[in-house]
Chain A
Amino acid sequence: SQQGEEDPQALSIQEGENATMNCSYKTSINNLQWYRQNSGRGLVHLILIRSNEREKHSGRLRVTLDTSKKSSSLLITASRAADTASYFCATVWDGGATNKLIFGTGTLLAVQP
């Protein structure tokens, strides 16, 4: 399977703490994206990092990418109860013609108030 893997599978933290989730993938990529999903609804795009970038920030989110290790991490700082959701990394293969996403297995984040 081309599917990436994420760890941990589940993470429970207190409000105000930082949450870090990791993603590993298998193919060479054009970019890597992170999405959030609330309670089995649609996915919401969080951030996109290109293969030639090493770090990217967006608000309370920080994403790193290490293409030599085929891995990425998502850091959410000062977490809030509203951050409770499943988080998925998704890669776009650099040999493809379209933005077909290959998703990781996801991390379920629970932020306790």
Chain B
Amino acid sequence: KAGVTQTPRYLIKTRGQQVTLSCSPISGHRSVSWYQQTPGQGLQFLFEYFSETQRNKGNFPGRFSGRQFSNSRSEMNVSTLELGDSALYLCASSGQGRLNEKLFFGSGTQLSVL
């Protein structure tokens, strides 16, 4: 099985722009989660989607949004980019998102905001 695929791998944007990141989960996985990783704040949960519905959301401003399609692929969007949004954005998938399921992570999208 192919792993979790994230595109693009690197992205450079300027303040005020918006960006869309894409994630294709492992085939058959229906739960997709997003995490932000920065040197200062570490790894933080953004949101989780299952069957096209957001089931869980982290403590991030409304500029961060996401969605999931019927084939379980997911996108996250960040509008009005700020310098502090520079980070590695990681997508992870699991079968059903149950408590005891491990997560499979993609390689991430490295976003730099100038």
Contact = CB atoms under 8 A, between A and B. Distances in A.
B97 A98 contact: yes
B43 interface: yes
B88 A40 contact: yes
Given A3-B42, A88-B43, A97 B56 contact: yes
Interface stretch (B14-22, B61-69, B70-78, B104-112): B104-112
Interface residues of B, number: 31
Contacts of B55: 97-98
B4 interface: yes
Contacts of A99: 31, 33, 94, 97-103
Interface residues of A, number: 28
Contacts of B58: 100
Contacts, number: 78
A33 B4 CA distance: 19
Interface in B47-63: 48, 50, 55-56, 58
A30 interface: yes
Given A99-B94, A100-B45, A44 B99 contact: no
A71 interface: no
Contacts of B107: 41-42
